[in-house]
Amino acid sequence: MKQHIAIPGAALGLLSLVGALGFIGPAWRANKRVETEILAMRAELAKPSDSPEIITGLANRLHELQTKSRERMVPIPETSDVAGLMTRLSAVLNRLGLVQREVTTGAETAVDETASLPMSVTLRGGFNPIFEAIREIEHLPRLVRIQRLRLAYESRGQSDQFNSQEIRADLLIDVFFGAKNEPIEEVADASHEGIDE
């Protein structure tokens, strides 16, 4: 008789366990969904908004970047100042020992809001001084663009072999001038203007 009571008791226990799992499983899954939604909402709330503090911080950062930009920018002179440019270029080439050189200028041409003066420079000498001269030309304190650069070994004598370490460099440079250098617009201080308090 005890066996007959144990079977319905075990069946009742098993049925209770299945019923409990049937209620717990869906509730657990729903709880996980809610936790995921809570995490997503927290992440959304952590994003920057358009609050006055955020706008002021962004305006200050923009001002810092504009200041750095002005410090790095090479202004375009209003005049070509060929004499000043030739004097500076001659000083650089003399310092580097490049005495075999030809420098000629062409006719001015209009380029957008500026003008350009083409300059042809031919240098003869060792590789290192010529390389340094090209770097110096690129870093002149005015806006220049190397339009064309051609390097070739120069041969001496009648043989076809290059028995010399002399190099010939032909450069075509554009020198820009004639721009109206207008300052970069300053952004209004966001903490005082444009924000409703």
Position 184 pLDDT exceeds 60: no
Tokens found for residue 71:
């410090």
- Specify the CATH number of the domain 82-177: 3.30.70.60
Distance in angstroms (rounded) separating the CA atoms of residues 130 and 97: 9
How many residues are recorded in the chain? 197
pLDDT tens digits for range 108-152: 888 888 888 899 999 999 999 999 999 999 888 788 889 999 999
Query: Contact at 8 Å (CB) between 177 and 81?
Result: yes
pLDDT band at 3 (very low <50, low <70, confident <90, very high): low
Distance in angstroms (rounded) separating the CA atoms of residues 138 and 63: 29
- State how far Cα 66 lies from the chain centre: 14
Position 70 pLDDT exceeds 70: yes
Kindly report which listed range (51-60, 92-101, 114-123) carries the lowest average pLDDT score. 51-60
Distance in angstroms (rounded) separating the CA atoms of residues 122 and 104: 9
Note the pLDDT of residue 191.
Answer: 42
Percent of the chain with pLDDT over 90: 23
Handedness of CA 146, 121, 136, 175 (dihedral sign): negative
List, in sequence order, every residue forming a beta bridge with 148; answer none if it has no partner.
172
Distance in angstroms (rounded) separating the CA atoms of residues 77 and 83: 14
pTM, two decimals, is 0.52
